[in-house]
């Protein structure tokens, strides 16, 4: 009977050991499944984050490219405007020089005409005086003929 009791105890212990092993396997399997689910979720979250960051990077690269193009446009515009301003200043200087030359020529012509008119005026004054003198002489001759 003792042997039977020992055999029953051994069988019970083996059965308990077998149940515990089965429970451990189930627990290990459950933990393994949980680990797989957590790892899968982490990978999915990482993939989503990578996708999100890739989209943000693309958007930033587009903004950067747009800003670069705007900068280049404004640099080109600035150079063009500076060149145009320089050309306009040069054209203004040419017009100013031309106007100055034209005014100098006109002033010289006015001075020449003034000199001519002054000379003609002097000649007219002399002619008028000569005419008065001749009239005076003629009147004097007429008077002297009458008195004779």
Three-state secondary structure readout of 17-86: HHHHHHHHHHHHHHHHHHHHHHHHHHHHHHHHHHHHHHHHHHHHHHHHHHHHHHHHHHHHHHHHHHHHHH
Res 3: pLDDT? 85
Is residue 148 over pLDDT 90?
Answer: no
47-94 tens-digit pLDDT = 999 999 999 999 999 999 999 999 999 999 999 999 999 999 999 999
95-126 tens-digit pLDDT = 999 999 999 999 999 999 999 999 999 999 99
């Amino acid at each position: 009977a003792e042997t039977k009791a020992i055999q029953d105890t051994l069988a019970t212990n083996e059965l308990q050991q077998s149940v515990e092993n089965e429970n451990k396997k189930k627990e290990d399997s459950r933990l393994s499944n949980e680990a797989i689910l957590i790892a899968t979720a982490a990978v999915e979250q990482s993939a989503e984050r990578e996708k999100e960051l890739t989209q943000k990077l693309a958007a930033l690269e587009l903004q950067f490219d747009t800003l670069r193009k705007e900068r280049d446009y404004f640099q080109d515009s600035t150079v063009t405007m500076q060149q145009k301003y320089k050309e306009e200043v040069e054209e203004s200087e040419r017009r100013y020089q031309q106007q100055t030359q034209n005014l100098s020529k006109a002033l010289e012509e006015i001075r020449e005409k003034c000199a001519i008119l002054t000379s003609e005026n002097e000649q007219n004054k002399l002619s008028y005086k000569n005419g008065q003198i001749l009239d005076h002489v003629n009147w004097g001759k007429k008077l002297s003929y009458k008195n004779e």
